[in-house]
Amino acid sequence: MSHVRVALVDDEPLIRSGLAAVIGAEPDLVVVGEAGDGADVPDLVARTSPDVVLMDVRMPRVDGIAATRALVRAGSSARVLVLTTFSNDDHVVQALAAGADGFLLKRSTPEEVVHGIRTVARGESLLFPEAVRELARRHLLTTGAGVATELARLTSRERDVLRLMATGRSNPEIAAELVVGLETVRTHVASVLAKTGTRDRTQAVVLAYRSGFVTG
């Protein structure tokens, strides 16, 4: 193969610009497409057939985990390299389960970024040293590793609801956002509370932040 084709998915234009600048400077790498949300990933990949997708975790509508899952489910051959600001285990576990091939922290240097891209393009998986180290540290601190598994048990709709809860939305607001009935939202909220072992929405939101399910 001549060039490694790279697609960028991040909601922050500045990050995309930075990645494009870094990647464009490498003779063996080429940026073939960009998207600002996970919802646009299937179309982007279909259009540009990238070898590697650099995927942000936190995005407004569809996050990188879900987008990765969608890619894998669609049988795409594109390798997914997940970009994350913080290396917390919830993201790592979820993304690995979703089928990601590696991790990069956003505070990585340009050298680390291009190295990571070449690594996953070769078919190897990449868990960036720093991410692994922080992952281990966190696991020692968290009590019994319950949280990640609890949150992992949530259905995709329940995750949607929890994400919106974590922005301070009320049940009626969430219902409007997701275009479903209020009763449906109440059901999902009840499921989230039951599965996470929390008593009310505030505790669920606290768990979401502390576990890194959402980033503050």
Partner DNA sequence: CGCCGGCTCCCCCGCGCGGGGGAGCTGTGC
Partner DNA sequence: GCACAGCTCCCCCGCGCGGGGGAGCCGGCG
6 binds a second copy (CB under 8 A): no
Which positions ≥6 away from 77 have C-beta within 8 Å? none
Q: How far apart are alpha carbons 212 and 139 in whole angstroms?
A: 13
User: Which one among 15, 20, 30, 178 touches DNA, defined by CB under 7 A?
Assistant: 178
CA distance 216 to 122: 34
User: Binding-site residue total for a second copy (CB under 8 A)?
Assistant: 36
The yes or no reply on residue 106 touching a second copy (CB under 8 A) is yes
List the single partner that 176 binds among a second copy, DNA, none, CB under 5 to 8 Å by kind: none
Interacting residue with DNA among 157, 163, 177, 210 (CB under 7 A): 157
Query: Closest approach of Cβ 202 to a second copy, in Å?
Result: 5
Closest distance of CB 198 from a second copy, Å:
7
Report the residue number, 102 or 212, with the smaller CB distance to a second copy: 212
What are phi and psi for residue 34, nearest 5 degrees?
-140, 150
How many angstroms separate the CA atoms of 81 and 52, rounded? 7
Neighbours of 72 (CB within 10 A): 14
Nearest to 101 by CA among 54, 36, 137: 54
Q: Does 141 bind a second copy (CB under 8 A)?
A: no
Please give the residue ranges that form the binding site for a second copy (CB under 8 A).
Answer: 11-22, 106-110, 113, 165-168, 170, 198-203, 205-207, 209-210, 212, 216
